[in-house]
Amino acid sequence: MKITKQQLQQIIKEELEEEMGGGMPSKAEIEEVLDDVLQNIRKNAMSDHIAKQGARAEVLLSMLMGGRYAAEMYKDMFGERGLKGYMEDRYGD
């Protein structure tokens, strides 16, 4: 089962709406929900590709959250060329 970008956005939107309960959530609440959604995608992915995409998104979220091991995880996940190299390889830019 593949998850499209639009489906992922819808899942995130629904999770945020559920958590908000009418008011605007805090940054910490958004990070927590997004982390849960990404972990769920990674753990329940039906293909290695989707699982890896979920893991990459988790690493990037960890960086935004100031995670303790974010820099190490980033290097392990994206290599020496970093995010720019990954995007060039993926999209041929």
Residue pLDDT tens, the chain, 93 long = 788 888 888 888 888 777 766 677 788 888 888 888 888 888 888 888 888 888 888 888 888 888 788 788 888 888 888 878 878 887 775
Number of domains in the chain: 1
Quote the pLDDT of residue 68.
Answer: 80
pTM: 0.57
Q: Say how far residue 5 (Cα) sits from the centre of its chain.
A: 11
The residue type found at 14 is E
Largest Cα–Cα distance in the chain?
43
pLDDT score at 93: 54
Tally Cβ neighbours within 10 Å of residue 8.
17
What is the span of the domain harbouring residue 62? Answer: 5-91
As a whole number of angstroms, the distance between CA 51 and CA 8 comes to 13
The confidence score (pLDDT) of residue 49 equals 86
